Amino acid sequence: MRQLKGKRALITGAASGIGRAAALLFAHEGASIVSADIDAERGNEIVNEIERLDGKARFVKCDVTRADDCHNAVEQTVQAFGGLDILFNNAGIIVRQSVVELDETDWDRVMDVNVKSIFLMSKFAIPVMCSEGGGVIINTSSGWGVVGGPQAAAYCASKGAVVLLTRSMAIDFGPDGIRVNCICPGDTDTSMLRDEARQMRLQENEFMADAAIRPLGRIGTTEEIAQAALFLASEQSSFVTGTSLIVDGGGLA
């Protein structure tokens, strides 16, 4: 039996990486999907792929740092599918610099995309969920939201904020039947991870090999992280809220 049959899911950053994998997986498990992303071309591609598999999906162009766009994404979900059951706040960026190297513009951009976006999307999604008797919110943090990392000051600060924002929201809205959790992926094979190599001025193969140094001896796949998100979205985690699920091949062990 499909785990998300009849559910309506809004996924940010759905055009690529973990968001794309989650959109495909959630659709396979029976959910109707709204793919929200700033990249319209790839965002529509994932919709077309879901529809070719007889799933239901819509694309909404969304800059997750803008309140109007976030409000519109929630409204479009309700209009398309009649409600909203699952919000996956997945959009994120990374800048690999220390506080001395980092300029204010980059600091603000990282905090806006990684943290403010969760505030905005949740602000508009939660009233809809409350009116329907509950729902699920999943936020993407990082292993570096639990421990620090080098030359990633804004990223670490933002992902640490996601962990505590998740806990606060879980406390506030548990009585309304809304579960709020976050996933903390380790290094995962995405374009963002490969972009880090460029930012660090390292050869990509060298950077990826270093990232694989962990007990399981490899980096993660987007599909593996999506499976963790599916667990938190489904009834399999019905008594789980306010938690941070580390999915990193043992990297933090």
Q: Where are the beta strands (DSSP E) in the chain?
A: 8-12, 32-37, 57-61, 86-89, 135-140, 178-185, 244-247
Q: What is the pLDDT of residues 76-110, one digit of tens each?
A: 999 999 999 999 999 999 999 999 999 999 999 99
Question: What number does CATH give the domain 8-247?
Answer: 3.40.50.720
Q: How many CB atoms lie within 10 A of CB 202?
A: 13
Q: Which residues of 211-243 are buried (b: 16+ CB within 10 A; e: fewer)?
A: bbebeeeebbebebbbebbbbbbbeebeeebbb
Rounded CA-CA distance 113/119 in Å is: 10
130: exposed, middle or buried (C-beta count within 10 Å: 0-12, 13-18, 19+)? middle
pLDDT tens profile 179-217: 999 999 999 999 899 999 999 999 999 999 999 999 999
What are the pLDDT digits (tens) for 7-39?
999 999 999 999 999 999 999 999 999 999 999
Cβ-Cβ contacts under 8 Å for 84 (sequence gap 6 or more): 8, 10, 74, 77, 78, 125, 128, 129, 132, 135
**Model confidence, pTM:** 0.96
- Tell me the domain boundaries of the chain: 8-247
Task: Select which of 88, 124, 155, 173 is catalytic.
Answer: 155
> 147-162 pLDDT, tens per residue?
999 999 999 999 999 9
Q: Is 76 a catalytic residue?
A: no
Helix (H) or strand (E) holding 227: helix 222-233
Mean model confidence pLDDT for the chain: 97
Decide if pLDDT at 1 tops 90. no
Percentage of the chain lying above the pLDDT 70 cut: 100
Looking at residue 2, its pLDDT comes to 92
Q: How many CB atoms within 10 Å of residue 100?
A: 6
